[in-house]
Amino acid sequence: MPEFTIHLTDWAHEQARLSQLRRTVFIDEQGVPEALEWDADDAGATHLLALTEAGQAIGCARLLPDGHIGRMAVLPTWRGRGVGRALLAAAVEAARLHGHTMLRLSAQTHAADFYAGAGFVAIGAEYEEAGIPHVAMRMPLR
């Protein structure tokens, strides 16, 4: 039995927990400027929230209406335990249910192999976003 579950939600219902996770991982840990973390896309996105059996938020991701997956974050103490894989799989399934035929994401280069393992392919050259090296990736859905 898994130690966590993945829930589909929205910003209106889970803003506090989603924003706390993203603040911890992106702003505090990775040094992403706060002004770059928050955007208007959150309101219309499908959000995914990983919760422990006790209800603690341990990871998140979002799926935008155009098929972009992003803002994927897992608390440091939960990394390497399948949370990221479960979030990504749930995002891909949500995209299928929404009728998307192509998924896109902007991967931090250190995580590109993680996404490649799920079927994403890097396209184009490495670039910098929020001071962190990234690569664009995509995956067709069949």
The whole-model pTM stands at 0.94
**Full pLDDT tens readout for the chain, 142 residues:** 569 999 999 999 999 999 999 999 999 999 999 999 999 999 999 999 999 999 999 999 999 999 999 999 999 999 999 999 999 999 999 999 999 999 999 999 999 999 999 999 999 999 999 889 999 999 999 7
Helix residue spans in 41-124 (DSSP H): 41-44, 83-97, 112-117
CA distance 137 to 140: 10
Backbone angles phi, psi at 98, to 5 degrees: -85, 0
CATH number of 4-100: 3.40.630.30
**pLDDT (0 to 100) of residue 142:** 79
**Pairing relation of β-strands 46-52 and 4-9?**
antiparallel
Query: How many Å apart are CA 86 and CA 120, to the nearest integer?
Result: 15
Q: Within its chain, how far is the Cα of 58 from the centroid?
A: 12
Per-residue pLDDT at 1: 55
- The amino acid at residue 32 is V
* CA-closest candidate to residue 110, choices 81, 132, 80: 132
